[in-house]
Structure 1
Amino acid sequence: MLRRCPAHGPFDEAYCPTSGHRGDELLEEEHRTRLSTFCSGALRHFPEDVGLDLDRAGWTPLADLIEAARDRCAWARVDHVRAVLATDRKGRFERDGDRVRATYGHSVEVAIEKDEGSVPGQLYHGTTRERWAAIREEGLTPQGRREVHLSPAAAQAREVGLRHGDGIVVLRIDVNGVRKHGIDVHRRSSAVFTCERVPPEHLSLVDE
Protein backbone atom coordinates (compact mmCIF):
# COMPACT_ATOMS: atom_id res chain seq x y z
CA MET A 1 0.00 0.00 0.00
CA LEU A 2 1.30 3.42 -0.94
CA ARG A 3 0.39 6.20 1.46
CA ARG A 4 0.93 9.96 1.26
CA CYS A 5 2.17 12.27 3.99
CA PRO A 6 0.75 15.81 3.61
CA ALA A 7 4.19 17.27 4.31
CA HIS A 8 6.61 14.80 2.68
CA GLY A 9 4.71 13.07 -0.10
CA PRO A 10 4.31 9.34 -0.89
CA PHE A 11 5.84 6.51 1.13
CA ASP A 12 5.45 2.72 1.28
CA GLU A 13 5.80 2.03 5.00
CA ALA A 14 3.25 2.07 7.82
CA TYR A 15 4.24 5.61 8.76
CA CYS A 16 6.06 8.45 7.02
CA PRO A 17 9.78 7.86 7.75
CA THR A 18 10.33 11.61 8.21
CA SER A 19 7.34 12.84 10.20
CA GLY A 20 5.93 9.61 11.64
CA HIS A 21 2.56 10.64 10.20
CA ARG A 22 0.18 7.82 9.24
CA GLY A 23 -0.75 9.65 6.06
CA ASP A 24 -3.61 8.96 3.69
CA GLU A 25 -4.11 5.89 1.52
CA LEU A 26 -2.94 6.58 -2.02
CA LEU A 27 -2.67 3.32 -3.99
CA GLU A 28 -3.36 -0.29 -3.08
CA GLU A 29 -0.54 -2.78 -3.56
CA GLU A 30 -2.07 -4.64 -6.51
CA HIS A 31 -2.44 -1.43 -8.50
CA ARG A 32 1.00 -0.26 -7.46
CA THR A 33 2.53 -3.49 -8.78
CA ARG A 34 0.65 -3.21 -12.08
CA LEU A 35 1.75 0.39 -12.61
CA SER A 36 5.34 -0.34 -11.62
CA THR A 37 5.52 -3.34 -13.96
CA PHE A 38 4.08 -1.32 -16.83
CA CYS A 39 6.43 1.64 -16.33
CA SER A 40 9.44 -0.64 -16.07
CA GLY A 41 8.52 -2.53 -19.23
CA ALA A 42 7.69 0.62 -21.18
CA LEU A 43 11.01 2.27 -20.34
CA ARG A 44 13.14 -0.86 -20.78
CA HIS A 45 11.59 -3.14 -23.37
CA PHE A 46 8.64 -1.83 -25.41
CA PRO A 47 8.67 1.99 -25.54
CA GLU A 48 7.55 2.19 -29.18
CA ASP A 49 4.59 -0.10 -28.52
CA VAL A 50 3.14 2.43 -26.05
CA GLY A 51 4.11 5.60 -27.91
CA LEU A 52 7.29 6.52 -26.03
CA ASP A 53 10.30 8.01 -27.79
CA LEU A 54 13.52 7.33 -25.83
CA ASP A 55 16.60 9.39 -26.54
CA ARG A 56 20.05 7.81 -26.74
CA ALA A 57 20.43 7.87 -22.94
CA GLY A 58 16.99 6.36 -22.33
CA TRP A 59 15.17 9.57 -21.33
CA THR A 60 11.58 10.29 -22.33
CA PRO A 61 9.14 13.04 -21.27
CA LEU A 62 7.47 12.20 -17.96
CA ALA A 63 4.16 13.47 -19.34
CA ASP A 64 4.34 10.87 -22.13
CA LEU A 65 4.92 8.02 -19.68
CA ILE A 66 2.03 9.21 -17.51
CA GLU A 67 -0.25 9.35 -20.55
CA ALA A 68 0.80 5.85 -21.63
CA ALA A 69 0.25 4.48 -18.12
CA ARG A 70 -3.21 6.02 -17.89
CA ASP A 71 -4.10 4.61 -21.30
CA ARG A 72 -3.13 1.15 -20.07
CA CYS A 73 -4.66 1.46 -16.57
CA ALA A 74 -7.89 3.46 -16.70
CA TRP A 75 -7.96 3.88 -12.90
CA ALA A 76 -4.47 5.43 -12.75
CA ARG A 77 -4.06 9.09 -11.82
CA VAL A 78 -1.12 11.38 -12.43
CA ASP A 79 -0.16 11.30 -8.74
CA HIS A 80 -0.30 7.48 -8.78
CA VAL A 81 2.34 7.28 -11.51
CA ARG A 82 4.54 9.89 -9.85
CA ALA A 83 4.32 8.06 -6.52
CA VAL A 84 5.22 4.69 -8.06
CA LEU A 85 8.31 6.20 -9.67
CA ALA A 86 9.35 8.00 -6.48
CA THR A 87 9.03 5.03 -4.10
CA ASP A 88 10.58 2.24 -6.17
CA ARG A 89 12.96 0.42 -3.82
CA LYS A 90 14.88 -1.27 -6.63
CA GLY A 91 16.10 2.04 -7.99
CA ARG A 92 14.70 1.26 -11.45
CA PHE A 93 13.58 4.81 -12.26
CA GLU A 94 15.35 8.15 -12.46
CA ARG A 95 13.68 11.56 -12.67
CA ASP A 96 15.36 14.67 -14.03
CA GLY A 97 12.96 17.59 -14.13
CA ASP A 98 10.23 16.78 -16.64
CA ARG A 99 11.86 13.63 -18.00
CA VAL A 100 12.24 10.05 -16.75
CA ARG A 101 14.16 6.89 -17.62
CA ALA A 102 14.89 3.38 -16.40
CA THR A 103 18.33 3.15 -14.81
CA TYR A 104 19.19 -0.42 -15.91
CA GLY A 105 17.85 -3.63 -17.43
CA HIS A 106 17.12 -2.43 -20.97
CA SER A 107 16.63 -4.75 -23.91
CA VAL A 108 16.29 -1.77 -26.27
CA GLU A 109 19.45 0.04 -27.35
CA VAL A 110 20.36 2.87 -24.97
CA ALA A 111 23.62 4.26 -23.58
CA ILE A 112 23.24 4.75 -19.83
CA GLU A 113 26.12 6.57 -18.17
CA LYS A 114 28.10 4.34 -15.82
CA ASP A 115 27.95 5.19 -12.12
CA GLU A 116 31.50 5.04 -10.83
CA GLY A 117 30.37 5.16 -7.19
CA SER A 118 31.75 2.73 -4.64
CA VAL A 119 31.23 -0.97 -5.32
CA PRO A 120 31.48 -3.53 -2.47
CA GLY A 121 34.21 -6.15 -2.56
CA GLN A 122 31.57 -8.88 -2.65
CA LEU A 123 28.26 -8.98 -4.50
CA TYR A 124 25.60 -11.68 -4.82
CA HIS A 125 23.42 -13.35 -7.42
CA GLY A 126 20.42 -15.64 -6.92
CA THR A 127 19.78 -18.51 -9.31
CA THR A 128 18.26 -21.98 -9.39
CA ARG A 129 20.26 -25.01 -8.30
CA GLU A 130 19.70 -26.42 -11.78
CA ARG A 131 21.32 -23.36 -13.39
CA TRP A 132 24.23 -23.46 -10.94
CA ALA A 133 25.51 -26.66 -12.56
CA ALA A 134 26.13 -24.76 -15.82
CA ILE A 135 27.20 -21.49 -14.19
CA ARG A 136 30.02 -23.15 -12.23
CA GLU A 137 31.50 -24.21 -15.58
CA GLU A 138 30.67 -21.20 -17.77
CA GLY A 139 30.36 -18.32 -15.31
CA LEU A 140 27.53 -15.79 -15.18
CA THR A 141 26.39 -14.30 -18.49
CA PRO A 142 23.54 -11.85 -19.23
CA GLN A 143 21.08 -14.53 -20.46
CA GLY A 144 19.00 -12.23 -22.66
CA ARG A 145 19.78 -9.05 -20.75
CA ARG A 146 22.48 -6.58 -21.71
CA GLU A 147 24.44 -7.18 -18.49
CA VAL A 148 24.55 -9.49 -15.48
CA HIS A 149 22.61 -8.09 -12.51
CA LEU A 150 24.11 -8.42 -9.03
CA SER A 151 22.82 -7.56 -5.55
CA PRO A 152 24.67 -5.99 -2.59
CA ALA A 153 23.31 -8.49 -0.05
CA ALA A 154 22.64 -12.24 -0.07
CA ALA A 155 19.04 -11.79 1.12
CA GLN A 156 18.29 -9.45 -1.78
CA ALA A 157 19.85 -11.87 -4.26
CA ARG A 158 17.72 -14.71 -2.90
CA GLU A 159 14.56 -12.61 -3.28
CA VAL A 160 15.45 -11.83 -6.90
CA GLY A 161 16.22 -15.48 -7.58
CA LEU A 162 12.82 -16.59 -6.31
CA ARG A 163 11.25 -14.98 -9.39
CA HIS A 164 12.72 -17.87 -11.38
CA GLY A 165 11.34 -20.70 -9.25
CA ASP A 166 12.12 -22.70 -6.14
CA GLY A 167 15.39 -24.35 -5.15
CA ILE A 168 17.31 -21.07 -5.10
CA VAL A 169 21.02 -20.86 -4.36
CA VAL A 170 22.91 -17.63 -3.74
CA LEU A 171 26.28 -17.05 -5.36
CA ARG A 172 29.02 -14.84 -3.95
CA ILE A 173 31.00 -12.78 -6.47
CA ASP A 174 34.59 -11.71 -5.80
CA VAL A 175 34.48 -8.22 -7.32
CA ASN A 176 38.24 -7.62 -7.21
CA GLY A 177 38.84 -10.92 -8.97
CA VAL A 178 36.34 -10.00 -11.69
CA ARG A 179 38.07 -6.66 -12.24
CA LYS A 180 41.43 -8.39 -12.70
CA HIS A 181 39.94 -9.83 -15.90
CA GLY A 182 39.42 -6.29 -17.18
CA ILE A 183 35.68 -6.48 -16.48
CA ASP A 184 34.14 -3.33 -15.01
CA VAL A 185 31.52 -3.59 -12.27
CA HIS A 186 29.14 -0.64 -12.00
CA ARG A 187 26.63 0.64 -9.49
CA ARG A 188 23.23 1.14 -11.13
CA SER A 189 21.29 1.90 -7.95
CA SER A 190 21.53 1.16 -4.25
CA ALA A 191 20.09 -2.30 -4.96
CA VAL A 192 21.62 -3.24 -8.33
CA PHE A 193 25.15 -3.58 -9.70
CA THR A 194 26.00 -4.80 -13.20
CA CYS A 195 28.86 -6.22 -15.24
CA GLU A 196 29.18 -7.87 -18.64
CA ARG A 197 30.00 -11.32 -17.17
CA VAL A 198 31.46 -13.10 -14.14
CA PRO A 199 34.14 -15.76 -14.77
CA PRO A 200 33.43 -19.02 -12.90
CA GLU A 201 36.60 -18.87 -10.79
CA HIS A 202 35.24 -15.79 -9.01
CA LEU A 203 31.96 -17.44 -7.97
CA SER A 204 31.18 -19.47 -4.88
CA LEU A 205 28.05 -20.66 -3.09
CA VAL A 206 27.20 -18.56 -0.05
CA ASP A 207 26.57 -21.65 2.07
CA GLU A 208 29.86 -23.31 1.14
Structure 2
Amino acid sequence: MTDPIRRCPDHGFVTAPASGDPDCPECGADVERVLPGERRRRLSKFVSGALRHFPDEAGLELDDSGWADYAALEDAVVSKYEWADPQLLAAVVATDPKGRFEREGGRIRAAYGHSVDVTLGASENDAENEIPDRLYHGTDPDNLDSIHAEGLHSMNRQEVHLSGTPAEAREVGRRHTSSPVVLEIDASEMVADGHRISKRGAETYTADEVPPEYLDVREQEERD
Protein backbone atom coordinates (compact mmCIF):
# COMPACT_ATOMS: atom_id res chain seq x y z
CA MET A 1 0.00 0.00 0.00
CA THR A 2 1.32 3.44 -0.93
CA ASP A 3 1.57 5.88 1.97
CA PRO A 4 -0.30 9.19 1.64
CA ILE A 5 1.56 12.48 1.39
CA ARG A 6 1.11 14.99 4.20
CA ARG A 7 2.48 18.47 4.83
CA CYS A 8 4.28 19.59 7.97
CA PRO A 9 4.51 23.33 8.75
CA ASP A 10 8.26 22.96 9.39
CA HIS A 11 9.37 20.05 7.19
CA GLY A 12 7.19 20.46 4.11
CA PHE A 13 5.95 17.35 2.30
CA VAL A 14 6.34 14.12 4.28
CA THR A 15 4.96 10.60 4.06
CA ALA A 16 3.40 8.55 6.82
CA PRO A 17 1.21 5.42 6.95
CA ALA A 18 -2.52 5.97 6.52
CA SER A 19 -3.19 4.24 9.82
CA GLY A 20 -2.11 5.65 13.15
CA ASP A 21 -1.63 9.23 14.27
CA PRO A 22 -1.21 11.74 11.41
CA ASP A 23 2.00 13.24 12.80
CA CYS A 24 5.16 14.43 11.08
CA PRO A 25 7.76 11.61 11.22
CA GLU A 26 10.47 14.24 11.67
CA CYS A 27 9.12 16.35 14.54
CA GLY A 28 5.79 14.82 15.62
CA ALA A 29 3.77 17.92 14.70
CA ASP A 30 0.23 17.69 13.33
CA VAL A 31 0.23 17.40 9.56
CA GLU A 32 -2.30 18.08 6.82
CA ARG A 33 -3.09 15.33 4.33
CA VAL A 34 -2.22 16.49 0.82
CA LEU A 35 -2.66 13.37 -1.31
CA PRO A 36 -4.10 9.92 -0.47
CA GLY A 37 -1.98 6.88 -1.19
CA GLU A 38 -3.90 5.62 -4.22
CA ARG A 39 -3.77 8.96 -6.01
CA ARG A 40 -0.11 9.31 -5.13
CA ARG A 41 0.56 5.93 -6.74
CA ARG A 42 -1.38 6.83 -9.88
CA LEU A 43 0.29 10.21 -10.28
CA SER A 44 3.77 8.80 -9.68
CA LYS A 45 3.17 6.02 -12.22
CA PHE A 46 2.04 8.52 -14.86
CA VAL A 47 5.00 10.85 -14.29
CA SER A 48 7.46 7.94 -14.40
CA GLY A 49 5.93 6.66 -17.63
CA ALA A 50 5.89 10.09 -19.26
CA LEU A 51 9.56 10.70 -18.49
CA ARG A 52 10.75 7.16 -19.26
CA HIS A 53 8.55 5.61 -21.92
CA PHE A 54 5.90 7.81 -23.58
CA PRO A 55 6.92 11.49 -23.53
CA ASP A 56 5.30 12.20 -26.90
CA GLU A 57 1.92 10.90 -25.74
CA ALA A 58 2.16 13.11 -22.64
CA GLY A 59 3.05 16.18 -24.69
CA LEU A 60 6.67 16.32 -23.50
CA GLU A 61 9.94 16.79 -25.36
CA LEU A 62 13.04 15.15 -23.88
CA ASP A 63 16.51 16.38 -24.75
CA ASP A 64 19.38 13.97 -25.40
CA SER A 65 19.98 13.61 -21.64
CA GLY A 66 16.33 12.94 -20.79
CA TRP A 67 15.44 16.41 -19.44
CA ALA A 68 11.93 17.78 -19.95
CA ASP A 69 10.44 21.18 -19.25
CA TYR A 70 8.90 21.10 -15.78
CA ALA A 71 6.06 23.46 -16.70
CA ALA A 72 5.14 21.16 -19.59
CA LEU A 73 4.96 18.25 -17.15
CA GLU A 74 2.67 20.30 -14.89
CA ASP A 75 0.37 20.87 -17.87
CA ALA A 76 0.41 17.15 -18.71
CA VAL A 77 -0.51 16.20 -15.15
CA VAL A 78 -3.37 18.71 -14.93
CA SER A 79 -4.70 17.48 -18.29
CA LYS A 80 -4.49 13.84 -17.22
CA TYR A 81 -6.23 14.09 -13.84
CA GLU A 82 -8.97 16.55 -12.97
CA TRP A 83 -7.99 16.38 -9.29
CA ALA A 84 -4.29 17.10 -9.88
CA ASP A 85 -2.48 20.42 -9.70
CA PRO A 86 1.16 21.66 -9.66
CA GLN A 87 1.35 21.39 -5.86
CA LEU A 88 0.51 17.67 -5.97
CA LEU A 89 3.11 17.06 -8.68
CA ALA A 90 5.72 18.82 -6.56
CA ALA A 91 4.72 16.68 -3.58
CA VAL A 92 5.09 13.43 -5.54
CA VAL A 93 8.49 14.42 -6.93
CA ALA A 94 9.80 15.59 -3.56
CA THR A 95 8.76 12.48 -1.61
CA ASP A 96 9.54 9.71 -4.08
CA PRO A 97 11.09 6.99 -1.90
CA LYS A 98 13.41 5.62 -4.59
CA GLY A 99 14.67 8.91 -5.98
CA ARG A 100 13.16 8.24 -9.40
CA PHE A 101 13.19 11.91 -10.39
CA GLU A 102 15.88 14.57 -10.75
CA ARG A 103 14.74 18.19 -10.80
CA GLU A 104 16.95 21.15 -11.62
CA GLY A 105 15.27 24.53 -11.74
CA GLY A 106 12.80 24.53 -14.61
CA ARG A 107 13.52 21.02 -15.85
CA ILE A 108 13.02 17.43 -14.68
CA ARG A 109 14.01 13.94 -15.77
CA ALA A 110 13.73 10.33 -14.66
CA ALA A 111 16.91 9.23 -12.90
CA TYR A 112 16.82 5.77 -14.51
CA GLY A 113 14.57 3.24 -16.22
CA HIS A 114 14.23 4.72 -19.71
CA SER A 115 13.07 2.75 -22.70
CA VAL A 116 13.24 5.84 -24.96
CA ASP A 117 16.64 6.71 -26.37
CA VAL A 118 18.46 9.06 -23.98
CA THR A 119 22.06 9.28 -22.77
CA LEU A 120 22.19 9.90 -19.04
CA GLY A 121 25.97 9.76 -18.86
CA ALA A 122 27.82 9.43 -15.60
CA SER A 123 25.81 10.25 -12.53
CA GLU A 124 26.61 13.52 -10.80
CA ASN A 125 26.91 11.46 -7.60
CA ASP A 126 29.50 8.99 -8.94
CA ALA A 127 32.45 10.88 -7.47
CA GLU A 128 30.95 11.06 -3.98
CA ASN A 129 29.01 7.78 -3.80
CA GLU A 130 31.18 4.73 -3.31
CA ILE A 131 29.90 1.74 -5.25
CA PRO A 132 29.38 -1.30 -2.95
CA ASP A 133 31.64 -4.31 -3.45
CA ARG A 134 28.58 -6.45 -4.17
CA LEU A 135 25.37 -5.60 -5.99
CA TYR A 136 22.34 -7.75 -6.78
CA HIS A 137 19.83 -8.43 -9.54
CA GLY A 138 16.52 -10.29 -9.35
CA THR A 139 15.32 -12.22 -12.37
CA ASP A 140 13.17 -15.12 -13.61
CA PRO A 141 14.85 -18.55 -13.29
CA ASP A 142 14.04 -19.16 -16.96
CA ASN A 143 16.65 -16.52 -17.83
CA LEU A 144 19.53 -18.22 -16.04
CA ASP A 145 20.96 -20.18 -18.96
CA SER A 146 21.25 -17.14 -21.20
CA ILE A 147 22.58 -15.00 -18.33
CA HIS A 148 25.32 -17.54 -17.52
CA ALA A 149 26.27 -17.57 -21.20
CA GLU A 150 25.94 -13.88 -22.10
CA GLY A 151 25.65 -11.90 -18.86
CA LEU A 152 23.09 -9.18 -18.12
CA HIS A 153 22.04 -6.83 -20.89
CA SER A 154 19.66 -3.87 -20.87
CA MET A 155 16.94 -5.55 -22.95
CA ASN A 156 14.07 -3.04 -23.30
CA ARG A 157 15.74 -0.49 -20.99
CA GLN A 158 18.71 1.73 -21.66
CA GLU A 159 20.82 0.21 -18.86
CA VAL A 160 20.99 -2.82 -16.60
CA HIS A 161 19.45 -2.10 -13.20
CA LEU A 162 21.12 -3.44 -10.05
CA SER A 163 20.12 -3.30 -6.38
CA GLY A 164 22.11 -2.58 -3.26
CA THR A 165 20.75 -5.51 -1.21
CA PRO A 166 19.41 -9.02 -1.90
CA ALA A 167 16.04 -7.99 -0.45
CA GLU A 168 15.67 -5.11 -2.91
CA ALA A 169 16.69 -7.37 -5.81
CA ARG A 170 14.17 -9.97 -4.68
CA GLU A 171 11.41 -7.34 -4.63
CA VAL A 172 12.30 -6.24 -8.16
CA GLY A 173 12.41 -9.85 -9.37
CA ARG A 174 8.93 -10.53 -8.01
CA ARG A 175 7.54 -8.04 -10.53
CA HIS A 176 8.25 -10.70 -13.14
CA THR A 177 7.96 -14.02 -11.31
CA SER A 178 6.73 -15.33 -7.98
CA SER A 179 10.01 -17.20 -7.36
CA PRO A 180 12.89 -14.98 -8.51
CA VAL A 181 16.56 -15.83 -8.60
CA VAL A 182 18.84 -13.28 -6.92
CA LEU A 183 22.17 -12.86 -8.67
CA GLU A 184 25.21 -11.45 -6.89
CA ILE A 185 27.47 -9.15 -8.93
CA ASP A 186 31.13 -8.57 -8.10
CA ALA A 187 30.88 -4.80 -8.51
CA SER A 188 34.34 -4.07 -7.14
CA GLU A 189 35.96 -6.25 -9.81
CA MET A 190 33.80 -4.74 -12.53
CA VAL A 191 34.86 -1.22 -11.59
CA ALA A 192 38.51 -2.27 -11.26
CA ASP A 193 38.35 -3.71 -14.77
CA GLY A 194 37.02 -0.45 -16.19
CA HIS A 195 33.27 -1.13 -16.34
CA ARG A 196 31.06 1.83 -15.39
CA ILE A 197 28.58 1.49 -12.54
CA SER A 198 26.54 4.53 -11.46
CA LYS A 199 24.23 5.14 -8.54
CA ARG A 200 20.81 6.37 -9.67
CA GLY A 201 18.18 7.53 -7.21
CA ALA A 202 18.06 6.24 -3.66
CA GLU A 203 18.66 2.52 -4.09
CA THR A 204 19.29 1.73 -7.76
CA TYR A 205 22.60 1.25 -9.57
CA THR A 206 23.04 0.99 -13.33
CA ALA A 207 25.59 -0.49 -15.72
CA ASP A 208 25.81 -0.76 -19.48
CA GLU A 209 26.09 -4.53 -19.09
CA VAL A 210 27.28 -7.17 -16.62
CA PRO A 211 29.53 -9.79 -18.26
CA PRO A 212 28.94 -13.35 -16.97
CA GLU A 213 32.30 -13.63 -15.23
CA TYR A 214 31.19 -11.05 -12.64
CA LEU A 215 27.99 -12.73 -11.47
CA ASP A 216 26.81 -15.79 -9.60
CA VAL A 217 23.57 -17.08 -8.09
CA ARG A 218 23.08 -15.73 -4.58
CA GLU A 219 19.74 -17.37 -3.80
CA GLN A 220 17.05 -19.25 -5.67
CA GLU A 221 13.56 -20.07 -4.42
CA GLU A 222 11.97 -23.37 -5.28
CA ARG A 223 8.94 -23.13 -7.52
CA ASP A 224 5.63 -24.59 -6.39
Q: Name the TM-score, length of structure 1 as normaliser.
A: 0.92
Secondary structure at the aligned position of 1:164 is classed as: coil
Structure 2 unpaired stretches of 5+? 18-22
Aligned to 1:150: 162
Query: Would the aligned equivalents of 2:101 and 2:201 in 1 still touch at CA under 8 Å?
Result: no
Structure 1 unpaired stretches of 5+? none
Q: Which of 149, 155, 168 is the matching residue for 2:180?
A: 168
Distance 1:193 1:170 in 2: 15
Larger CA deviation: 33-42 vs 182-191: 182-191
Query: What is the CA-CA distance between 1:176 and the residue it aligns to?
Result: 2.3
Distance 1:91 1:172 in 2: 23
Query: What is the CA-CA distance between 1:180 and the residue it aligns to?
Result: 4.8
Mapping 1:53-202, distance limit 5 Å: 53-115=61-123, 116=126, 117-202=129-214
Measured against aligned partners, the alpha-carbon deviations of 1:35-75 in whole angstroms (never above 9, x if no partner) come to: 11110111111111111122222222212101101111111
* Change in CA separation of 1:85 and 1:205 when aligned onto 2, cut-off 3 Å: same
Distance 1:23 1:149 in 2: 36
Larger CA deviation: 171-180 vs 146-155: 171-180
Measured against aligned partners, the alpha-carbon deviations of 1:177-201 in whole angstroms (never above 9, x if no partner) come to: 3235532111112211111111122
2:7 is the counterpart of 1:9: no
Distance 2:213 2:30 in 1: 49
* Change in CA separation of 1:182 and 1:83 when aligned onto 2, cut-off 3 Å: same
Query: What is the CA-CA distance between 1:157 and the residue it aligns to?
Result: 1.0
List 4+ stretches of structure 1 deviating above 6 A.
Answer: none
Distance 1:134 1:56 in 2: 31
Larger CA deviation: 9-18 vs 90-99: 9-18
Query: What is the CA-CA distance between 1:22 and the residue it aligns to?
Result: 4.1
Secondary structure at the aligned position of 2:144 is classed as: helix
Matched AA of 1:77: D
Query: Would the aligned equivalents of 1:114 and 1:188 in 2 still touch at CA under 8 Å?
Result: no
Aligned to 2:44: 36
Percent identity reads: 45
Larger CA deviation: 173-182 vs 149-158: 173-182
Distance 1:26 1:80 in 2: 7
Distance 2:193 2:12 in 1: 45
Query: Would the aligned equivalents of 1:171 and 1:205 in 2 still touch at CA under 8 Å?
Result: yes
Distance 2:7 2:144 in 1: 43
